[in-house]
Amino acid sequence: MAKRTPEEIAEMIEALEEDRKVLPEFSTFGDPNWKIIDAELAVLRTGKRAAPEIGVDGAAEVDLLIEWLEGNISWSEFWK
């Protein structure tokens, strides 16, 4: 797969921003939903990986986003 287009990146930013509006700040397991989404948005907006305290699961989600951004996985694989 090819790297993502600016339009695809804009759509992902919009989807993540919508998620942030409806998800609680913390999951029922205590994961920091907003910090993870903020880290993902930072990657999409700057092209650089941020280093907030997001835990192992959060870091895995950011890694998955980077795989999507580089064109290695599909939209549906990211949103599992």
Is 1 inside any structural domain?
no
CA–CA distances in Å: residue 21 to residues 2, 7, 13, 39, 70 = 30, 21, 13, 15, 26
Q: How far apart are CA 9 and CA 45, in angstroms?
A: 9
Domain of residue 52, residue span? 6-78
> Looking at the 3D structure of the chain, how many domains does it have?
1
What are the pLDDT digits (tens) for 2-55?
789 999 999 999 999 999 999 999 999 998 899 999 999 999 998 877 656 676
Q: pTM here?
A: 0.85
Is 47 inside any structural domain?
yes
What are the pLDDT digits (tens) for 57-67?
778 888 899 89
Is 73 inside any structural domain?
yes
